[in-house]
Amino acid sequence: MKLLNQLTITEARTALDANEITSVELTKACFAEIESRNPALNAYLGIWNEEALAEAARSDERRANGEALGPLDGVPLAIKDVILVEGRTISAASKILESHVAARDATVIRKLKAQGAVFLGRTNMDEFAMGGSTENSAYGVTRNPHDPDRVPGGSSGGSAAAVAAHLCIAALGSDTGGSIRQPAAYCGLVGLKPTYGRVSRSGLMAMASSFDQIGPMTKTVEDAAILFEAMQGRDPLDQTTVSEASFQPAWRDRLDGIRIGLPKQAWGDGIHEEVRTAVLGAVETLKELGAEIVDVDLPYSEETLAVYYVVMPCEASTNLSRYDGMRYGVREPASNLLETYLESRGEHIGPEARRRILLGTYALSAGYYDAYYKKAKQVQTLIKNAYTTALSDVDVLLTPTTASQAFRLGEKVNDPLSLYVEDLFTVGANVTGLPAISVPCGPAGELPMGMHLMGRAFDEATIFAVARAYEQTVHG
């Protein structure tokens, strides 16, 4: 028998609609688990007890009156500390914004409020979403619920740990180079990076604006689809959002007629053997479900990581220039404007964020712009064309989500390049803007691993269908 906080969105919805449980009971169960486990895991940076319980009570009242708002009405969610919630402290896990209170709701929050979702609190992350381990937070590391000596991944590590430890029913993260999918793989969750422009970025603190996307982190594929459907759509506050037909899941038990491509360049020596074995085992399951498995050529695979780590710091250095102690952020006393900038940013922005700001500023500087940023953007076009060609012959591209399982805390702290390589399989979806999902695979009882599925632009329905068919076959 599952505890209330262990329910999925679908299970909670069924129980709520049947009046077997109340939203207040569900929310209290999550808060009890937070009180018990969060001190050790450090998944949450802020808890919104009173507000969440009040919203849960309103949800129960609506349900009693036959006025439930939708599938998320009364469901407790966790929110990454980079998505604005009006009236709440939102810090991006940085000291420079430790007292920043959001003046408005992000568009995704407004949409979820309209469906009656209950927000439990804000989750830990790498500062300004810069990192892949949640070791770069100004407020301490988050630990992996499967092994507290290991990282949960990042930058959405707090959201991943909160869902995996059942400190919420589901959570929101943001994904710039894999920051939803990599921690989902490390923590045994489903994580979706939507097509760029499918979900509004309005109210998301920007790191790299042309890559950032908000997405769900959930216990099942169906739950991810429910959250995604609630958040997606055109938004006049974000001019990069696109008017597309509304998303409709297309579940299927068999995968006959689906062609799945295995990029030849993705199966080199860098993959740990247990990950290779697990993902190739998942490929065999997909084949048994009727999918046709084909090898595909994907040029510029190695260049994709290089392009990302040029363009991303350039955009980050520009976006983070506003946190200077004058326009935004904590202001340190100083005798003149320059010293104010230096003291405020030097004292309150962490080393990884500073590293990326410096790299981006250098790549954009006179004499280097053409050699780095301009060249990276040119290669980015080649990469997009290569993915378009590959996906003209297959419906989905399949790789591991990560080359290894979750690494130990502190293992890569002094070797940032080895940490950047963890993004090898995930950055392609951000560089090209394509949708991608990580779904758990591998033997039960061991450290989690993820299978990564990437699809055509605005075709989330296909990667959801493949992921759920696999999930239902393996996990029931």
462 lies in some domain: no
Q: Which of 193, 183, 192 has the alpha carbon at shortest distance from 146?
A: 183
Write out the two tokens for 23.
């939203």
Residue-level pLDDT at 344: 67
Annotated catalytic residues are 80, 155, 179
Give the tens place of pLDDT for each residue, 314-339: 999 999 888 877 777 777 777 787 77
| Least confident window among 189-193, 217-221, 223-227, 418-422 | 418-422
Cis status of the peptide bond prior to 438, with omega within 30 of 0: no
Average pLDDT estimate for 127-147: 97
Domain containing 124: what range?
Answer: 4-231
Query: Count of domains in the chain?
Result: 1
285 lies in some domain: no
Asked whether the beta carbons of 230 and 238 are under 8 A apart, the reply is: no
Q: Would you say residue 65 has pLDDT above 80?
A: yes
Write out the two tokens for 100.
């920043």
246 lies in some domain: no
Task: Give me the CATH number covering residue 162.
Answer: 3.90.1300.10
Q: Would you say residue 231 has pLDDT above 90?
A: yes
Give the tens place of pLDDT for each residue, 257-302: 999 999 998 888 789 999 999 999 999 999 999 999 999 999 998 8
Residue-level pLDDT at 245: 66
Tell me the H-state helices in 205-272. 221-231
28 lies in some domain: yes
Average pLDDT estimate for 125-141: 97
Give the tens place of pLDDT for each residue, 167-188: 999 999 999 999 999 999 999 9
Q: Would you say residue 208 has pLDDT above 90?
A: yes
Average pLDDT estimate for 242-262: 90
263 lies in some domain: no
pTM above 0.75, yes or no: yes
Residue 172's φ and ψ, nearest 5 degrees, are -105, 140
216 lies in some domain: yes
Beta strands in 239-291 (DSSP E): 259-263
Higher pLDDT, 203 or 1: 203
312 lies in some domain: no
Spatial separation of the C-alpha atoms in residues 155 and 476, rounded to whole Å: 30
72 lies in some domain: yes
Buried b (16+ CB within 10 A) or exposed e, 170-201: bbbbbbbbbbbbbbbbbbbbbbbbbbbbbbbb
Asked whether the beta carbons of 173 and 185 are under 8 A apart, the reply is: no
Report how far apart, in Å, the C-alpha atoms of 89 and of each of 53, 55, 98, 154, 316 are. 18, 18, 8, 21, 22
